[in-house]
Amino acid sequence: MAGYSSSFGAGGGTAWVLKADRNGSIGSCGAFAIAESSAVSSSTSIVSSDSSGAIASGSVSLVTTGVLALASDAVAIADCSRTPPPTSTACAVTLSSDFKLHVPIIDFQGNTFRADFRHVPNTLDFVLTDADVVLDDSSFDGCAHSVLSNDLTLVLPDIRFNGKSYWAQLTRKEGVRLTLTAAGEN
C-alpha cells in the first residue's frame, strides 16, 4: 500500500509505502519501526488488482488495497524490516513458567537498565517488581538490546520461552504497569 500527502511532513509532500501480507497484516514491523523514513519519486507506475484508486498530478490516492508497484524511480531513504535476533542469548529476555519476565538489558535515554516484571493474572499486564542501572554493559555487546522509548513503550526483541524465541511490545498502562500490545514468534 502506498500513499501521498501534501499537507503533512517536511517539504512539499510526503510519500509512504507499507508492506502488508494478503490478510492486511503488517506483521511485527510496527514494533520495530524506524522513527523517521522517507522516499523520493518523480514518477511511479502502478498496477491494480482488486483495488480502486485515483491518480492526479502525480500523486496516488488509494481507496482499497491490492496495489502493486509496477515501476518506480522511488529511492528508499529508510525501511522497516526485521532480522532474526542474534544467536547470542546474553540480551535474551527470559519468561519463566509462572510468567515472570527477566529483562537483562534495556536501553533508555542513553542509559542501560535491567528489570524484572510479574504477570497480572487474567490480563495482558505485567508489573515492574525490580530494576537497577547496569553500570557495565560490555557483556551485552553484539546482541539485540530491549529498548524503552520516551513514551514508555518497551520493545523486547528476543524473549526465550519453552525453547522458542519471541518478540513483544509492552506499553505503559499506569504507574509501573505495562500491557502487552504486540507479540510474535521470531
CA angle, 81 then 73 then 71, to 5°: 85
Nearest of 90, 88, 82 to residue 32 by alpha carbon: 82
Q: Are residues 99 and 44 in the same domain?
A: no
Q: Are residues 54 and 101 in the same domain?
A: no
Q: Are residues 103 and 45 in the same domain?
A: no
Q: Residue 131 falls within a domain, yes or no?
A: yes
Domain count, the chain: 2
Using the predicted structure, report yes or no on whether residue 3 has a pLDDT greater than 70: no
Half-sphere exposure of 98 (CA within 13 A, CB side): 3
What integer is the mean pLDDT of 85-95? 76
- pTM of this prediction? 0.55
Measured CA to CA, the distance from residue 125 to residue 173 in angstroms comes to 8
Measured CA to CA, the distance from residue 179 to residue 171 in angstroms comes to 5
Q: Residue 130 falls within a domain, yes or no?
A: yes
* Residue where a domain stops, chosen among 76, 110, 131: 76
> What percent of the chain lies above the pLDDT cut of 70?
53
Measured CA to CA, the distance from residue 146 to residue 85 in angstroms comes to 11
Q: Are residues 43 and 69 in the same domain?
A: yes
Identify the residue with better confidence: 15 or 92: 92
What integer is the mean pLDDT of 127-150? 92
Measured CA to CA, the distance from residue 93 to residue 155 in angstroms comes to 11
Q: Residue 82 falls within a domain, yes or no?
A: no
User: Please, which pLDDT band fits residue 44 given cuts at 50, 70 and 90?
Assistant: low
Asked if 41 and 73 count as a contact pair (C-beta separation under 8 A), the reply is yes
Q: Residue 175 falls within a domain, yes or no?
A: yes
Return the pLDDT at 174.
95
Q: Are residues 98 and 175 in the same domain?
A: yes
Domain residues for 12?
Answer: 2-76
pLDDT, tens only, 161-178: 999 999 999 999 999 999
Q: Residue 88 falls within a domain, yes or no?
A: no
CA trace torsion 176, 180, 184, 186 (10° rounding): 0
Beta-carbon contacts of 40 under 8 Å, excluding residues fewer than 6 positions away, are 15, 74, 75, 77
